[in-house]
Amino acid sequence: MDDNKMQMTIPLKSGDLVLKNPVLTASGTFGYGVEFSRYGDLTGLGGIVTKGLSLKPMKGNPQPRIVETAAGMLNAIGLQNWGVEGFLENYLPKLPLEQLPVIVNIYAHSPEDFSSLAARLSNVPGIAALEVNISCPNVACGGLLFGQDPKMAFEVTRAVKQASGNLPVMVKLSPNVTSITEIALACEEGGADMLSCINTLTGMAVDLKGRRPALANVVGGLSGPAIKPVALRCVWQVANAVKIPVIGIGGVYCADDILEFLLVGAYAVQVGTANFHRPNKAFELPAELEARMKKLKIENLQSFRGTLQIPDIKSWDEM
């Protein structure tokens, strides 16, 4: 195996984004990164994605807002966060920015507010990229609506792109749509440099004895191993539809999950719900991946990526 076997070079319009390995952490599941530094060395990760930031701090939804489900969890946090200034003042300076790509996830109620957020962050040194959340199912205003309408997805992407200067822009897609490729193409047309998919699937859990919803918000976003097949399908479809790089998210728990996302075309993955089960899980994954590559005789990830073979129907019968 070569020295850079785990490295992923993500081609962008203005220069490449180089990750030492394809293990990123997913927004909302890893705080602002700083909180997890007690569980492992942040610089061993391919990168982190921060909790979604809005212009002003948000309190989020009332409790209860997390519930465990079969093979996953439902959340309706409602984008509680310290706001962009709180993050810039209290968290960003504590991150090892020179050795760790930090992707800042943003959320707003309007294209104008998205634009203001992007403009504010474009002047901040050390940020690797923005991730634009147009796919949150847990907020009343905006959120998922932007990600379900190709025109709105285009508009938000264009607004962020125009305001973000040289910062690469990744748009995060929702699986809660009829055609994810239609939205992906709209974002690409709006100027997105990368796409990430997927955000959570809208779901619901009930408390049978109490005869009421398990979440105060009634509905929430399903995540974890339960959604991995949906996520793989989405990544595969999107990667085949657009020319820009795609990052896979949804139920990544082990090295094989990472390899599966890369096989269907992703350049990297984000680890989300697994961090709730084991806060050191993401830190362990690069070594697990290396061991698994050796076992499967995968020389390097860059050439492995996107090599899924779909046999024709005749050869399926012979298998």
- Our CB check for ligand FMN shows the closer of 5 and 146 to be 146
Distance CA 66, CA 68 (A): 7
Q: Which two tokens stand for residue 229?
A: 């097949």
Contact 37, 71 (CB under 8 A): no
Distance CA 242, CA 189 (A): 10
- Tell me if residue 14 falls in helix, strand or coil: coil
Residue 217 as a binder of ligand FMN (CB under 6 A): the answer is: no
**Interacting residue with ligand FMN among 20, 172, 281, 305 (CB under 6 A):** 172
Residue type, 122: S
- Our CB check for ligand FMN shows the closer of 5 and 121 to be 121
Residue 176 as a binder of ligand FMN (CB under 6 A): the answer is: no
Interface with ligand FMN (CB under 6 A), residue total 25
**Interacting residue with ligand FMN among 21, 54, 164, 200 (CB under 6 A):** 200
Smallest separation (angstroms) from ligand FMN to the CB of 293: 21
- Helical segments of the chain, H only: 83-90, 111-122, 144-148, 150-163, 180-189, 228-241, 255-263, 274-277, 281-296, 301-304, 313-318
- DSSP state letter for 225: G
State which of positions 118-147 bind ligand FMN (CB under 6 A).
133, 136
- DSSP state letter for 34: G
Per-residue binder mask for ligand FMN (CB under 6 A), 19-38, x = binder: -------xxxx---------
Stretch that binds ligand FMN, among 180-188, 247-255, 288-296, 308-316 (CB under 6 A): 247-255
With CA atoms as reference, report the closest residue to 81 among 117, 110, 115: 117
- Our CB check for ligand FMN shows the closer of 276 and 304 to be 276
- Our CB check for ligand FMN shows the closer of 62 and 311 to be 62
Residues marked as catalytic: 136
Tell me the Cα Rg of the chain: 19
**Interacting residue with ligand FMN among 52, 147, 245, 286 (CB under 6 A):** 52
Applying CB under 6 A, which residues contact ligand FMN?
26-29, 51-52, 75, 77, 79, 105, 133, 136, 172, 199-200, 223-224, 227, 249-252, 271-273
